[in-house]
Amino acid sequence: MSVFRLGVLGNAEHREMAEVLERVLRSADELGADVALGEATARLAREELGVQGVARLEDAWEGLDVLLTLGGDGTLLSGARRAGPRDVPVVGCNLGRLGFMTAGPSESLERMLGRLVAGEYEIEERLALDVTVVRSGSQPGPPGYYALNDVVVHKSGFARLITLRLWSEGEEIAQYSADGIIVSTPTGSTAYSLSAGGPVLVPTLDALVATPISPHTLAVRPVVIPADGRVTIEVCPHSAETIVTVDGQVGSDLEVGDRVEAGRSERPVRLIRFPDHSFFSVLRRKLRWGDVRPRDR
């Protein structure tokens, strides 16, 4: 029987991280699992826990069974961008406030690890995006990006509108005067897109949603488009100080005439879900849907 191999990425700045990491290492040892640590968690293990000789995650991707992220949704997104292209399933243990995409809180960490080693989980494939910046001039664009949540083209600097043109599969949808446009996957529909007025998409839905940010024209509304089509956002004239941000964590500056192209990645993110942790149960709990006190009688 092969040994279960667990990769661990964590937010080393979190005040509980040393304690949680110690629990992970102890539980993995009891379960007979091998552990590989990301750079930040490995340093924490050495300096605060006195643990030496733990395998490096950078050397252990091949053959890894699961990547465990310790933190909030941001930590899971960072892990997903690394694990998704490598076809490694990802599961998150929530140490943050919301933890919408994580599979459980730190209180259930040992139970989560036991279920992972026992294979008591399901894998849900989540649509991811390959994102490319095409420069209008001779300068090369940045390396491509991989996104689980969204790609956002938006203004920076002073509070002024920018003008963006949006296409899907070569057909122009509209020209927007707004603070920006969010192109979101179903997974990301409950993140920035939702706060900007976009709809909630079931994560397994094969679609994208383009949500304008504070559009100048109130008639402009989010639009749901097929996931198979390539989406293009062009920066139009009079749009100074524009940037593109991917999953809220990486990105680059844009100039007038630059285009941001996003399309379905051939490598979806394989997100681990436990049978008692459904999408709608998370919606009810995290967004407090249906949280209405009964009328006093």
CB 93 within 8 A of CB 104: yes
Please name every residue paired with 263 in a beta bridge, in sequence order, or none if there are none. Answer: 130
Cβ atoms within 10 Å of 206's Cβ, excluding its own: 11
Q: Please tell me the total number of residues recorded for the chain in this structure.
A: 297
**Strand 223-226 relative to strand 150-155: parallel, antiparallel, unpaired?**
unpaired
Which residues are tagged catalytic?
73
CB 89 within 8 A of CB 6: no
Please name every residue paired with 164 in a beta bridge, in sequence order, or none if there are none. Answer: 176, 235
| Amino acid occupying residue 125 | E
Instruction: Give the C-alpha separation, 144 to 139, whole Å.
Output: 15
Token pair 């943050």 in the structure block, residue: 96
Give the H or E element holding residue 115. helix 109-118
